[in-house]
Structure 1
Amino acid sequence: MTATDARPNLLGITINHRSMRGDARRFAALVQSIADGTTVSSPARARAVERYLTSLCTGIHHHHQAEDEVLWPVLEAAAGAEVDLTELTDDHAQLDPLLDRLRAEARALSAAPHDRAAAARLAATLTTLRDLLDEHIDDEERTVFPVIMRYVSHAEWERVEAAVRKGSAMSFELPRIERYATGDELAELYRMAGPVLRLMLALVRPAFLRREKVIFG
């Protein structure tokens, strides 16, 4: 097995990982503050939290499904015995029931916005998700990223990224990229994607910011 010459660009997956972790962290803190009574849970805020978390769960599920079905076979074919994906796959299996519980608890809070016990249950599940994502993504970036860079061609990586984009909700994913990328990273994304990215962001940004305001004030 020889290393490939063209190196994949891992900026997109890096920012996606950061956005999942960042959202789990900030929503765990927000919902805990609702459970503590320090943040008011209005019906509008609770509904917006439910909608956002439902989209987040869908995005996380799609991400790990794409890894299982597209990226993992690419890595196994390219790197063979040099990559062991067992633990990462096991983490993915833990995620789906956790995401189902998260959706149900977000619906429960939306139905009863002033129920601090419902908020406490949701906050606990978000905290579990936060910790699982932190551990899982740290492991993945430490063990899988070097394998991608060594053995996966640029063309094959582009095929993986295309499969991920195909099932993504761009109205949700794009403004989160803008939120979590650094200035230098955004500049690189603009160079890579051209003016279409600026146009798409301009279209989806206003609705995203309105929802952010309802949720976080």
Structure 2
Amino acid sequence: MPNLLGITINHRSMRGDTRRFAELVRGIAAGTTPNPASRARAIQRYLVSLIDGIHHHHRAEDEVLWPVLERVAGAEVDLAELTDDHAQLDPLLDRMRTEAAALAAAPDDRAAAGRLATSLETLRDLLDEHIEDEERTIFPIIERYVPEADWQRVETAVRKGSTAGFELPRIERYATEAELAELRRVAGPVLLVMLALTRPGFRRREKLIFG
């Protein structure tokens, strides 16, 4: 049976990051959270990485996972609604990229912060609905129908387009202790080495953004 731990944590990290940035930027827009230039630039850099990661995740599903599901599950799977969700999310993500750049260029512009906060709140709600639907309807089909070799091909496609320095420390942030133990068992010492290398920079970025 395919191990869905990686995609589960990835989903959790996308939702968690979107939620906490929506709250942070709404505070900037309200004037209750200070936004020096260093924080504004760090927010932009983080959100660009998050946006790229979400784009890549959806592209891997559209181009790799969905064809596998259609081949092995046939009439058991209907991907139309999830594919439509991806199409709806893409222009929102592109708009957020522009809005984050505008806030970085004018950290004191509370209207710019408000626009970005609204987009983040919209993304938060869309991702919550989309991911809950996907995990409820697609995960059981993956576990029932997808051969391990095909699932490994999907996970390889996801890893190839991701940025380890961004994704790995977020796994550590959002996984439970039991999940981290399982990941260490599967990945071996290489995971510990990569986490040790990426953790310091990630924590510096977190402190700059969230204090």
Same fold (TM over 0.5): yes
Following superposition, the deviation at residue 163 of structure 1 comes to 0.7
Answer yes or no: is 1:175 the counterpart of 2:165: no
**Where in structure 2 are the equivalents of 1:62-211 lying within 5 Å?**
62-211=56-205
Residue 32 of structure 2: aligned partner: 38
Q: Aligned partner of 1:108: which letter? A: A
- Percent identity of equivalent pairs: 76
Letter in 2 for 1:126: L
| TM-score between both structures, scaled by the size of structure 2 | 0.99
- What is the alpha-carbon distance in structure 1 between the residues aligned to residue 53 and residue 209 of structure 2? 19
Q: d(CA) in 2 for partners of 1:37 and 1:216? A: 15
C-alpha distance in 1, partners of 2:180/2:24? 27
Q: Distance in 1 between matches of 2:153 and 2:94?
A: 29
Counterpart residue number, 1:4: none
1:115 partner letter: D
Moved over 6 A (4+): none
Q: Unaligned stretches of 5+ in structure 2?
A: none
1:34-90 Cα offsets, whole Å, 9 max, x none, are: 111111000000000000000000000000000000000000000000000000000
SS in 1 for 2:138: helix
How big is the shift at 1:99?
A: 0.5
Structure 1 residue 173: Cα displacement: 0.4
